[in-house]
Amino acid sequence: MTSLYLIGGAILFGLGVHALVARAHLVLKVLAVNVMGSGVFMVLLAAAAGGEGDPDPVPHALVLTGIVVAVSATAFALALILRVKAVTGRAHLPEGEGDAESGGS
């Protein structure tokens, strides 16, 4: 039973990575990061259920900590997206800026 969750976690993580790279809209990227995070949390919780006796409390505590960190990062990211949108008018990152010598300082 726990292996189902382990594999589910792996799939969520992969989906998140894909969406983070493939999706252009910043809100979708931030959601993708959250999907990745959920994948990791699922793996941790599944690991806690393995073994004998009551579930291992340590991964539960780690996941609680991780959730709060994820909430904080998400909230800050959303605030940053709003600023990017307000200043540049777009909620996308400019394409191919890369190593070009772009203006602005």
Q: Residue 90 carries which DSSP code?
A: -
User: What's the CA gap between 81 and 73, in Å, rounded?
Assistant: 12
Q: How many residues does the chain have?
A: 105
Structural tokens at position 8: 């589910």
Q: How far is the CB of 94 from another protein (least distance, A)?
A: 6
C-beta of residue 48 within 8 angstroms of C-beta of residue 40: no
Taken in order 7, 12, 15, 20, the sign of the CA dihedral is: negative
Least distance between another protein and beta carbon 91 (Å): 10
CB of 19 to another protein, least distance (A): 8
Least distance in angstroms from the C-beta of 23 to another protein = 9
The strand pairing partners of 92, in sequence order, are 25
